Each structure stands twice: as structure tokens, then as C-alpha cells.
Amino acid sequence: MEEAPKDPSPASKADGLTLSAEEMRSLGYQAVDALVERWSTLRDQPAWRGAKREDLEGLLREDAPEDATPMEDVMRRAVDQILPVAARVDHPRFFAFVPGAPVWSSALAGFLSNGFNIFQGTWLGSSGPSFVELVVLEWFREWLGMPAGSGGLMTSGGSAANLDALMAVRERFAEVTHPVVYMSDQAHSSLAKAARVVGLGPAGVRMVPTDASTRFTAERVREVIAEDRARGRTPICVCATAGATNTGTVDPLSDLGALCREEGLWLHVDAAYGGFAVLTPEGRSALQGIGEADSITLDPHKWLFQSFETGCLMVRDVPALERGFSAKPEYLQDTEWGDDHPNFGDRGLQLSRTFRALKVWMSVQTHGLAAFRAAISRSMDLAVRAQAYIDAAPDLELLSPAALGIVCYRYSPQGSALSTEQLGTLNERIQDAVVDDGYAMVSSTRLEGAYALRLCIMNYQSTWEDVEGTLSLVQAMGARLCD
């Protein structure tokens, strides 16, 4: 026998792992208190904190301890030393990359589903939760305007959903030799990765350049398809983007849908960024035609205000998806309850799956859909207002117009004769200075080679003061650097 741990609390039971009800309660409340403290003071915290490896080595490098430590102390270290050294992606002035601002109900749903330790891989393993996943997928189907019978699964995110989609595409066109999928140069990198994983190879992916509006046009895709057919290749799928991560631009979904029907191709729409804008009138018109797609990637952890990892894939042809993934090993023979009782493990890579749909279900039930619609509209309005501010400011230049909450621009002092390159260097320095300041978190991109500052507004708590404060900080930093 090992010696008893020096400090026996709180893991005080004989096995060293089981806590008493009182201990669980007390520690659980402490965790909630730490979270509420963070959530209620978020606006006053820096939008981002990072650290160099060498600083973290000194603080956190250690061997796994053989002996117990009171959980209060362990949790304190997590809350003080580890968790805050990160981007606050949910900060109202986090406008970088793609923000993720969950509602409290989503965070609690994640906690509950972890605590109930739901195994959402089979109907046998989770009948109630599987049914709720079906309910939530049906909500999404209706919001998107996909035909009855469409379905899918919740995933870890947009990347996993894109991968699952391409598996279904491969399955539908299993007999084809030299298959090719098409995507624009603005498509998310996860699509190219997914193509690699499903074995399409470099020759199986055609990147089609976009026009000046960063969309790819059906005419251009049609030409490329004809070229490829002439070379003995078989086009199988067009991947459109509904809300490009760079600019928020949406590919012409109806035109691409018509093209795919004519050519007998699968239309996949990567709407991880912008999909939930369909809940608003502006978004619905921007995403017109999305319901005609064969598959749609969504990311509830973006514009539906869910905590990570909450993604989703919707497909028309659910059997194709299941053919792509289902495997029937002997040790799962008890789990076949028939077609009406899907085993979600048959629709994607994961067998052990967490109950992600609970987050969406609980938060939509709690707040009502109207609150979500209003919050999504508000972000789009703020981006339009940011564009107006940039248009009116003599020292700011618009580089891409407000689209689904994104605006790109650069600092460009009036009357200066800086080259594109010099402007790029100046804006890079502004970007660094704004990040160092901590008031807001912003990020940059490149548009047709030119360095661009980018605002991505996707937080239900962001206000015009937050956006204006950030733009005026950029102006102030720019003026200072030009001095």
C-alpha cells in the first residue's frame, strides 16, 4: 500500500477519487463563483492576454504529482494562472478573427451535459439527448429552408462539418474516377484540409480565383468545369462560402445551385461564418438560395452564441452521409434500433460524442429566438455603422464594405503619398500597437495582396461605443506613428 496522501482533503474517500456530496457542492459553487466573476467583469478586462513560452515554463512546468492537493488550490491556480492567459474571444471589444460569445445558458448546458456524461454516439446510449439533437437539427433545417428529410449531426465545429460533408460527397460519387471539387480562393482552409483527408489529392481540388468582389461567379466555375471535363476529369462538387471569413462576402448561392443541378454536382455551402444570419431579414436576403444546397456547414459557436465546440453539418441525403461513416462492429450489435432511431456515431467520425445539441436547445428555449434574431441584426448594423464612420473619416480607407458583420479598412493619412507597401507597414505597426494596448483585440488580413485591418463584429454585448472606441484608437495610433 502507498502511504496516505499528506493532505487528505477533499478527495477524502478511500479511493482518493470520490468526493462527498458536500464537497462536490462546495467546489461546484466555487467554480460558478469564479465564472460569474469573470463574466461580470469581462468588459473591464483586457480583450487579449498572451505569454511567451519561457514565462509559462517557470510558472507551470512540473511533473505530474503523485500526491493529492486540495481542489480549491488547484482550481485557484487554473483560474488565476492559466485560464486568463488567453484571448477573451467573448469580450465585447474582441473584433479579431471570429469572435465567440456564448450565452450563459450554453455554458451551463455544457456543464450539465459533461456532468451527466452523456454518450451521444448511439440511440441506445442516449435516447432523450439523441431525440433533442433531431429536434435542434429540424430547427436548423427550417431556418435554412432545406427540404423535409434533410438532417445531419452536431460536430466539434465547422472544420469537422466540412470534412463530414466531403465524405458524403465522396460516397455519393464513389464510382467516379478523377473526381474534382471546386472552391474559391476565399474558401476556408478547412475545406482544403478536408479534401486532403478524404483523399481527393491536389488534382482533385480546383481553387477558382474570385472576382474583385471576392465572390466566385457561376460563369467562371462553369468554364473551369468544362475545361476539367475536357481533360477527362469528373467534377463532383462545388463548395460555396456563405460568409467568407475574410470579408463576410457570400457567393452567389442561387446561381451556383442552378449550375450544380444542370451539371449533376453536389453543392456544399460552408456557412460556418454566416449561416445563422438567416434568422434576420437582412441575412436571409444575403443568403438567398442557401436552402437549395445539398449540404450546409454551420457553426453555432459563432453567430448562435454557443460555447465551443458546437458545429453542425446539414445534408439533404442523410443516407449518403451514413454510408460514409457507418460501421457495424459486433460489439455495437445491440445498438440497432431501426431507421427512425439514428445512431449519431454513424454520421461522423466520432463515436463517443458529447451532447452539444443541449446547448442550442437550452439557450433557444431560455432566451427565445427573437433575442437571437435581434442580436445578429445588431452586429450587422454595427458593421454598417463602422463602414459609415470609415467612409466619413479622412484618415481611414474602406477596403471591403460591411458584409455580415465584417468590415476591412486601413489607416491612410490624408494627402500622404504612401505606396501600398508603405501603407501595409504602417498598418501592421498600428495593428501591433492596438493589440498591445489591450482595449480591444483586432486582427488583419490581406485583400488582393494589400494589408487590411479587419473588424469582425459578432458579440451580442458589443455596442457602438466599443466599435467607435476601437476605430478611434486605430486613428490615434496611426497619427502617433506618423508623427
Ligand X SMILES: *Cc1c(COP(=O)(O)O)cnc(C)c1O
* Chain residues that interact with ligand X, rule: CB under 6 A: 98, 157-159, 188, 190, 241, 245, 270, 272-273, 299, 311
Residue 336 CA to chain centroid, in angstroms?
Answer: 32
Query: In 3-state terms, what secondary structure has residue 396?
Result: strand
Based on CB atoms, which residue is closest to ligand X, 68 or 166?
Answer: 166
91 SS3 class: coil
103/304 with CB nearer ligand X? 304
User: How do beta strands 396-403 and 179-184 pair?
Assistant: unpaired
In the bound complex, what is the minimum distance in angstroms from residue 63's beta carbon to ligand X? 33
Tell me the H-state helices in 145-266: 158-172, 189-197, 218-230, 253-263
At residue 50, what is the residue type? G
C-beta of 188 vs 356, nearer to ligand X: 188
Query: Can you tell me the distance from the alpha carbon of 47 to that of 68, in angstroms, rounded to the nearest whole number?
Result: 35
Q: Which is nearer to ligand X, 130 or 162 (CB)?
A: 162
d(CA 207, CA 222): 13
Query: Tell me, what amino acid is at 297?
Result: T
Minimal distance, residue 287 CB to ligand X, in Å: 13
Instruction: Output the smallest distance, CB 134 to ligand X, in A.
Output: 22
In the bound state with ligand X, the residue whose beta carbon lies nearer, of 122 and 444, is 444
Nearest to 108 by CA among 306, 369, 372, 368: 306
Residue 201: count other Cβ atoms within 10 Å of its Cβ: 11
Least distance to ligand X, CB of residue 380, Å:
16
DSSP β-bridge partners for residue 296: 269, 314
Phi/psi at 445 (nearest 5 deg)? -150, -170
Does residue 468 have a cis peptide bond before it, meaning omega lies within 30 degrees of 0?
no
Residue 157 vs 235, nearer CB to ligand X = 157
The most distant pair of C-alpha atoms in the chain lies apart, rounded to whole Å, by 80
Query: Closest Cα partner for 100 from 334, 382, 405?
Result: 405
Nearer to ligand X, 155 or 280 (CB): 155
Instruction: Output the smallest distance, CB 277 to ligand X, in A.
Output: 12
Among residues 326, 306, 324, which one has the least CA distance to residue 315? Answer: 324
2, three cell numbers: 502507498
Task: Name residue 403's beta-bridge partners.
Answer: 406
Shortest spacing between CB 75 and ligand X, in angstroms: 28
Minimal distance, residue 158 CB to ligand X, in Å: 3
Cα distance between residue 396 and residue 93, in whole Å: 19
Nearer to ligand X among residue 113 and residue 245 (C-beta):
245
Q: Which among 349, 355, 245 has a CA at the least distance from the CA of 303? A: 245
- Of 153 and 426, which has the nearer Cβ to ligand X? 153
Whole-number minimum distance, CB 282 to ligand X, in Å?
A: 19
Side-chain-side CA neighbours of 214 within 13 Å: the count stands at 22
Q: β-strands 406-411, 396-403: how paired?
A: antiparallel
Measured from the CB atom, the residue of 125 and 311 that comes closer to ligand X is: 311
* Shortest distance in whole angstroms from residue 334 CB to ligand X: 33
Shortest reach from residue 188's CB to ligand X, in Å:
3
